[in-house]
Amino acid sequence: MNALLVGGLFVLAVVSGMLGLGVAFAAVPFLSFFLPDLVHQVQPLSLLLNGVTALFAVFGFAQSGYVDWRKALLLALVTTLFAPLGAWLVQRVQVQWVWWIYLGAVVYLAFNLFRPVKAAVAKENFTLALVLAAPIAILSGFLGVGPGFLLMPTLILTGHDPKKAAGINAFAVTPPSFSSFLPHLETARLDSSMTITLLLVGALGSYLGSRLTSLYVPPARIKQIFGVLIVLVTLYRVSQL
């Protein structure tokens, strides 16, 4: 098996675990360098990896008490219910309009993530985060970016501590990842040995990343890392339009 494939996936899993994300946002372009079939190889494998890496990130954050289970369950319910609507809308709405909305959201989120942290601690507004989770899930289902990529900064900007936001986010994106994988079961063409190896490597990397964040990474640094990441991934997706 290609050592670059395994090593690269491990690094991506560590980064995604640090931020409480599944690895799919980075795995799709990365796996495309090694697998020729986007629909039957890259997408199903990325979705499976996304669910596993998000799940193991949950374990890592939970050890340090950074998972608010009630909030995580509510967000998971909303994202799981609304994400399929995006897949339905993609057949009926002009993609250009949705991309403009997405890019506007990214610019707003990135700008606020890079703003200096105020001395006063913001009050958590979970109700607003829960309301925003529905359109975020629809948009992510439309674009295939995963709800966590927009949900994570939304939690931060609604007053949640970045470490707690990462823990909540990791749990919230796990069920939609596995439910999105199910339609691919009949048509996926995956090498069993490679898939198992990547799942194990992804699980280990994601768990280590979540532990690094829980124990050593300051909350302000998490915001900065995510701000850079969201801009880079968006630029990549724009280049593929």
Highest mean pLDDT among 24-28, 84-88, 160-164, 203-207: 203-207
pLDDT for 136 equals: 85
pLDDT greater than 80 at residue 33: yes
pLDDT greater than 80 at residue 229: no
pLDDT tens per residue, range 46-99: 889 999 999 999 999 999 999 999 999 999 999 888 877 876 776 676 666 666
For the segment 225-241, the average pLDDT, to the nearest whole number, is: 69
Residue 119: pLDDT band with limits 50, 70, 90: very low
- Beta strands in the chain, from DSSP E residues, in sequence order: none
Per the confidence metrics, is the pTM higher than 0.85?
Answer: no
CA 186 to chain centre: 25
pLDDT greater than 50 at residue 186: yes
pLDDT tens per residue, range 147-180: 787 888 889 889 899 999 999 999 998 988 887 7
Average pLDDT, the chain: 83
| Residue 222: CA count within 13 A, CB half-sphere | 29
Contact 156, 223 (CB under 8 A): yes
Residue 102: pLDDT band with limits 50, 70, 90: low
Q: SS3 breakdown of the chain: % helix, strand, coil, rounded to 5?
A: 80, 0, 20
SS3 letters across 37-78: CHHHHHHHHHHHHHHHHHHHHHHHHHHCCCCCHHHHHHHHHH
> 10 Å Cβ neighbour count for 50?
29
The DSSP secondary-structure symbol of 161 reads -
pLDDT greater than 60 at residue 241: no
For the segment 133-146, the average pLDDT, to the nearest whole number, is: 76
For the segment 181-201, the average pLDDT, to the nearest whole number, is: 90
Rounded Cα gap, residues 205 and 195, in angstroms: 15
Contact 168, 15 (CB under 8 A): no
Tell me the domain boundaries of the chain.
3-239
Comparing 140 with 137, the larger pLDDT belongs to 137
